[in-house]
Copies of this chain bind each other. A is one copy, B any other.
Amino acid sequence: MPNNSNYKTEKEFLINYDPSEFESPLVTVDLCIFTLIDNDLKVLMVKRSQFPEKGKLALPGGFIDLNSDSTIEETALRKLLKKTGVKSPYIEQVSTIGNKSRDPRGWSVTTLYFALIPHVDVIESNEVGDEVKWLSMEDVAISSMAFDHKELINKARERLANKVSYTDIGFHVLPAKFTLSQLQKAFEILMDHKLEKKSFRRRMMSADLVSELDEVSSERGRPAALYEAKSDKLHFFARSL
């Protein structure tokens, strides 16, 4: 352990400070970007074009750019924007995983985020040349992936299901206008279990989360009223579903 007591002031210490004095782990940010495509939960994956784990499927992410990023969340948002074109997703830090074995290059730390976006907002710019791919959860289970990314997805998936059951984050996979049936269906898929129609509607209505529009959506059957989210701030329910 280095002793720095030979410096008199913090200023003097900082002038002489050498950041490479301590051996540092690799630091990355990984993103689990979820969306709903045709009532199926999908997660965005990229095919790695570089070593290590070249050719394998991996979560979008990468190193913090110490020059352009001023916070770690900015890194996450930058990566998300690059891959999807989406600027303001619902995003949440899930957890930070760090150990000596997860990356063949050595001790590695990654901060995992998950994001929810409406699929209609996605613009696949794909300037990078990395192949991007929306993988369904069934495919996640059977695909081979780079690093510990399958575990990361499972962690994010679990957090997602959990959080949907006591908040209103489920709104974020839908476009601006939606019917209550679509909303319920989205919640059901995100939580991975069926809900009672009456309970669901009562919950949304009495929490005053939506406002009815003067439009209807007609497919088969009785036309459904269209709604929009009333507020974009996170709502917590006192009870889980």
Q: Which A residues form the contact surface with B (CB < 8 A)? A: 3-5, 7, 10, 13-14, 17, 19-20, 22-27, 49-54, 63-64, 66, 69-72, 93, 95-101, 104-107, 109, 111, 238-240
> Is B4 a contact partner of A70 (Cβ separation < 8 A)?
no
Q: Which residue of B lies closest to A98 (CB)?
A: B72
| A13-B109 Cα distance, complex, nearest whole Å | 20
Q: Which residue of B lies closest to A51 (CB)?
A: B13
Measured between C-beta atoms, what is the minimum distance from A8 to chain B in Å? 10
Q: Which residue of B lies closest to A238 (CB)?
A: B240
User: How many monomers of this protein are in the complex?
Assistant: 2
> Is B99 a contact partner of A96 (Cβ separation < 8 A)?
no
CB contacts (< 8 Å) of A23 on chain B: these are 66
Partner of A99, one of B20, B71, B240: B71
A contact face: mostly helix, strand, loop, or mixed: loop
Measured between C-beta atoms, what is the minimum distance from A99 to chain B in Å? 4
CB contacts (< 8 Å) of A53 on chain B: these are 10
> Is A19 a contact partner of B26 (Cβ separation < 8 A)?
yes
Q: Which residue of B lies closest to A54 (CB)?
A: B10
Measured between C-beta atoms, what is the minimum distance from A64 to chain B in Å? 6
> Is A98 a contact partner of B52 (Cβ separation < 8 A)?
no
CB contacts (< 8 Å) of A107 on chain B: these are 64, 66
Given A25-B27, A27-B25, answer yes or no on A51-B99 (Cβ-Cβ < 8 Å): no
